[in-house]
Amino acid sequence: MKYRSSLITEAFCLAESLHRDQVRKSTKIPYLYHLLSVAALVGEYGGSDRQVAAALLHDAAEDQGGQATLETIQERLGADVAAYVRACSDSLVVPKRSWRARKEAYVGRIADLPDEVKLIIAADKLHNVRSLLCDYRQAGESLWRRFNGGRDGTLWYYRAAAGALEGSWRHPILEELREAVDRLMAVAGGPAPRPGA
């Protein structure tokens, strides 16, 4: 598949400038490494240059400036990339609603999103679950203190997001995501409560 390296280079430069001081929760790991991992997964699973660019910026508007950042993305990378980033965001407003309310609303709209966005979301969730598995093996139960949803909320969220993707879309990445979520559930001590429980 051909891609425009200039688009991906521009997306990387913008992502680096927006996230350069950000680290993964309660770690010293640069947040940019997560963005690079998600972008690599999107590319490896056949995503277009616009999808890879959006993967590099999928958290930019949500975490680094809201609507103003989204407008910058549109100006520099085009309407498609900005639309993908917007669709990946659970909130663009400050202050944000509660964690649970945002995540329930986000999971509830996954089925209606374009397939191009679902690939970015699946790659994001896959990398996050892989990271959780690695971190859990090192930190054990103390890991869950890093997250607003705690253990049960975090496990619910990844299972619910994977289920919403599987229920509305067919793609090879879903098998890998489901396997990773199942491993996380097993390692973390079993299934989390269902939504509303």
Instruction: Delimit the domains of the chain by residue range.
Output: 5-187
For all residues of the chain together, what is the average pLDDT?
92
Asked if the peptide bond before residue 95 counts as cis, ω within 30 degrees of 0, the response is yes
Q: Residue 95 — very low, low, confident or very high, per pLDDT cuts 50/70/90?
A: confident
- The pLDDT of 112-129, averaged and rounded, is 98
Radius of gyration of the chain measured on its C-alpha atoms:
16
Higher-confidence residue of 24 and 178: namely 178
Q: pTM, whole model, 2 decimals?
A: 0.92
Report the alpha-carbon distance of residue 166 to residue 193 in Å, rounded: 19
Give the C-alpha separation, 9 to 76, whole Å.
Answer: 11
* Mean pLDDT calculated for residue range 94-114: 94
The fold of 5-187 is Hypothetical protein af1432 (1.10.3210)
Q: Is the pLDDT of residue 133 over 60?
A: yes
* Element containing residue 183 per DSSP (H, E): helix 173-187
Q: Where are the alpha helices (DSSP H) in 89-172?
A: 99-109, 115-139, 150-168
What are the pLDDT digits (tens) for 135-148? 999 999 999 999 99
Q: Give the confidence band of 120 by pLDDT, cuts at 50, 70, 90.
A: very high
Half-sphere exposure of 1 (CA within 13 A, CB side): 12
Q: What is the mean pLDDT of residues 37-42?
A: 98
Q: Is the pLDDT of residue 194 over 70?
A: no
Which band of pLDDT confidence, cut at 50, 70 and 90, is reported for residue 59?
Answer: very high
